[in-house]
Amino acid sequence: MKFSRSLISTIKDYKKEDTEGGLRSQEYLTRGGFVHQVASGVYDFLPLGKMMLDNIQNIIKEELNNAGCVEVTLAFVTPSELWQKSGRFEKYGKELLRFKDRKEQDFVLSPTCEELMVELAKSKITSYRQLPMNIYQIHLKFRDEIRPRFGLLRGREFWMKDGYSFHDSEEDMLREFNLMEKTYKKIFARLGLEFKVVEADSGAIGGSGSKEFMVLANAGEDTLAVCKACEYGANIEAARRKPKKHKDEATQKEEIHTPDTKTIDDLSGLLSTPKDRFVKAVVKKALFKEETKPVVFFVAGCDELEETKAINACNALAFEDINEEEAASYGITLGFVGPDVDVELKYFDEELRERLGLIVGANKKDYHIKGYDIPKDGVFKDLVTVQEGDACPRCQADLTYAKGIEVGHIFQLRDRYSAPMEAKYLDKNGKTQNFVMGTYGIGVSRLISAIIEQKNDEKGCILPLSVAPYQVNVIISNVKDQTQFEAATKIYEELKAKKIRVILDDRDERYGHKMADFELIGFPYAIIVGKNITEQKVEIANRATLQKEAVDLSEVVQKIEILIGEAK
């Protein structure tokens, strides 16, 4: 490709304020001319973006096909009945874009395709002889995200690889789940990423047993708890810890006057008692399919409630905060709520089980109770946010926080979709059985941003060879110099013939401008053909190190071949 014909247009005068959040990846994607914003969370892919998308897709396809998966392309517009059947029409909330066609029939734009794929499997896979089967596609998705941001990291329209596997047993599904974990690791390694596989919450997709693939980057929206010593890592929404030990003593139960003392900090000060001896109550207004109800969660005074764990515990669609008046209308005295509060939905953190002699709210203004024993018949769930310094559940070393960008997610679905959607096959004995399923996603367009977020410097992107639109940029320092022009064109043609992805910067622009574009876009190597061509010399510039090396013209193609080969 010749630069002059490439539709690559870089932006020099870029206002930082144009980038919500100030992420480098977003700035460089826009300035480098990879994408063009059409609407909030909706982007055109310009040639550089499109080529990166294709390169990423090809690596994904190669590894998946190698692992025995088959590729299809499913419809993007899907009838809402399918979503009613699976029960996700309500559960998915406003991210699901719904609309009517001219016949007033309801449709949705696919945010993910479990329903559609299960329907397909139902009609095409009828016998155990066809199992196992792992079917995937790489296609557009639409989620009407509340806050689309950070460029391609959180779009509304975006590209996803979504795969679904069908099995006749739990063991076989687990085998495939492990195979997909291995395959995903290969894919992300080939993309040049530093990543971590972590335990995860299963979210709206449902099912249990899920892992996320996180690209480690400060800009990540996900907080991870990772062990300093072993491999353990988990999304904070699902992180576990070795349960804390407390020195409890049963004491006489008595009511104490605690005027205007609503927070654990204030109470702990007032009563000169450590925070872990208190029970903290967190009240939420929970939205369920058909109603709204208050729910009270109890955790130790030294702990915080993890909202995703809490939502899962009571199976709510979402939470809203509750104010004092509203709480009072349910008979709840905020600031003084204790385990004996008269509400239907109450949950205790697992680590409160069997604890004795604690200080809890008395459910009346300005009073608490001392010497309270946690009821044995309470409903106990894991509700706490793991903190830095807590002990790893596997090896007991310290846990610490890291930030990650979720680029992949694999789930063990079991019959979460096949049962409600009645997707069955005939087993060996001629009996109908529900498919046992797994599902596997990769954020393909998000990966472009994630790669750049991890691989950049103050000048621009540092693209890995495997995904760079062009691996080599042959820069003609002065296009009016015929010798430079001819030598550069010859190098370009030779590299092209060797199937190296190469671009020839043949623009009538200043050398400095061309170098700045090379650094901004981040092609891995540049060959600079300048004045020294009269001595049969050119330079190779390495984008990652920004170092330049003088090379004989006769050797440059071979040198580049070696550099690219070595890096593979």
CA atoms within a 13 Å half-sphere pointing along the CA-CB vector of 94: 4
| Contact predicate 427/167, CB 8 Å | no
- Convert 81-97 to b/e letters by CB count within 10 Å (16 or more is b): ebbebbebbeebeeebe
Could you tell me how many helices (H) and strands (E) the chain has, helices first?
A: 13, 31
> To the nearest whole angstrom, how small is the minimum distance from the Cβ of residue 157 to ligand ATP?
8
User: Looking at 132-140, 169-177, 279-287, 403-411, which segment touches Mg ion (CB under 5 A)?
Assistant: 403-411
> To the nearest whole angstrom, how small is the minimum distance from the Cβ of residue 48 to ligand ATP?
18
> To the nearest whole angstrom, how small is the minimum distance from the Cβ of residue 441 to ligand ATP?
3
Distance CA 56, CA 46 (A): 15
> To the nearest whole angstrom, how small is the minimum distance from the Cβ of residue 203 to Mg ion?
6
Residue number, 309 or 543, with CB nearest to Mg ion: 309
From ligand ATP, Mg ion, none, which one binds at residue 46 (CB under 5 to 8 Å depending on kind)? Answer: none
From ligand ATP, Mg ion, none, which one binds at residue 407 (CB under 5 to 8 Å depending on kind)? Answer: ligand ATP
> To the nearest whole angstrom, how small is the minimum distance from the Cβ of residue 125 to ligand ATP?
23
Q: Which of 171, 239, 163, 226 is nearest to 199 (CA)?
A: 239
> To the nearest whole angstrom, how small is the minimum distance from the Cβ of residue 413 to ligand ATP?
12
Read off the tokens for 148: 């689309």
Kindly list the residues in this chain that would bind ligand ATP in the complex (CB under 6 A): 112, 143, 145, 154-155, 158, 160, 203, 205, 406-409, 441, 443, 445-446
Residue 110 — left, alpha, or beta (φ > 0 → left; ψ -120 to 50 → alpha)?
A: beta
Handedness of CA 473, 215, 447, 459 (dihedral sign): negative
Residue number, 154 or 501, with CB nearest to ligand ATP: 154
Read off the tokens for 20: 């919500």
Could you tell me how far CA 7 lies from the centroid of its own chain?
A: 31
Residue nearest to Mg ion (CB): 409
> To the nearest whole angstrom, how small is the minimum distance from the Cβ of residue 446 to ligand ATP?
4
Distance CA 301, CA 264 (A): 6
| DSSP E strands, 323-435 | 345-349, 358-361, 367-372, 380-381, 399-414, 424-426, 432-434
Distance CA 28, CA 16 (A): 11
Residue number, 111 or 151, with CB nearest to Mg ion: 111
| Contact predicate 121/423, CB 8 Å | yes
Residue number, 172 or 181, with CB nearest to Mg ion: 181
Residue number, 51 or 113, with CB nearest to ligand ATP: 113
Residue number, 145 or 481, with CB nearest to ligand ATP: 145
Distance CA 32, CA 49 (A): 10
Q: Which of 57, 129, 118 is nearest to 88 (CA)?
A: 118
Residue number, 143 or 514, with CB nearest to ligand ATP: 143
> To the nearest whole angstrom, how small is the minimum distance from the Cβ of residue 406 to Mg ion?
6
Residue number, 87 or 203, with CB nearest to ligand ATP: 203
From Mg ion, ligand ATP, none, which one binds at residue 446 (CB under 5 to 8 Å depending on kind)? Answer: ligand ATP
User: Looking at 120-128, 232-240, 316-324, 404-412, which segment touches Mg ion (CB under 5 A)?
Assistant: 404-412
> To the nearest whole angstrom, how small is the minimum distance from the Cβ of residue 387 to ligand ATP?
22
Q: What is the total residue count of the chain?
A: 568
Residue number, 279 or 407, with CB nearest to ligand ATP: 407
| DSSP E strands, 168-278 | 195-199, 208-216, 222-227, 233-235, 254-257
Residue nearest to ligand ATP (CB): 443
In this chain, which of 24, 167, 409, 414 binds Mg ion, going by CB under 5 A? 409
Beta strand pairing call for 208-216 and 195-199: antiparallel
User: Looking at 37-45, 355-363, 401-409, 531-539, which segment touches Mg ion (CB under 5 A)?
Assistant: 401-409
Alpha helices in 191-243 (DSSP H): none
Residue number, 179 or 198, with CB nearest to ligand ATP: 198
> To the nearest whole angstrom, how small is the minimum distance from the Cβ of residue 160 to ligand ATP?
5
Residue number, 154 or 167, with CB nearest to ligand ATP: 154
From ligand ATP, Mg ion, none, which one binds at residue 243 (CB under 5 to 8 Å depending on kind)? Answer: none
Q: Which of 242, 241, 236, 235 is nearest to 198 (CA)?
A: 235
Residue number, 3 or 136, with CB nearest to ligand ATP: 136
Q: How many residues bind Mg ion (CB under 5 A)?
A: 1
> To the nearest whole angstrom, how small is the minimum distance from the Cβ of residue 94 to Mg ion?
18
> To the nearest whole angstrom, how small is the minimum distance from the Cβ of residue 155 to ligand ATP?
4
Q: Which of 296, 300, 273 is nearest to 285 (CA)?
A: 296
| Contact predicate 397/233, CB 8 Å | no
Task: Give the Å distances, CA to CA, from 277 to 121, 347, 375.
Answer: 54, 18, 16
From ligand ATP, Mg ion, none, which one binds at residue 385 (CB under 5 to 8 Å depending on kind)? Answer: none
From Mg ion, ligand ATP, none, which one binds at residue 408 (CB under 5 to 8 Å depending on kind)? Answer: ligand ATP
Cβ contacts of residue 545 below 8 Å, gap of 6+? none
User: Looking at 23-31, 125-133, 142-150, 406-414, which segment touches Mg ion (CB under 5 A)?
Assistant: 406-414
Binding site for Mg ion (CB under 5 A): 409
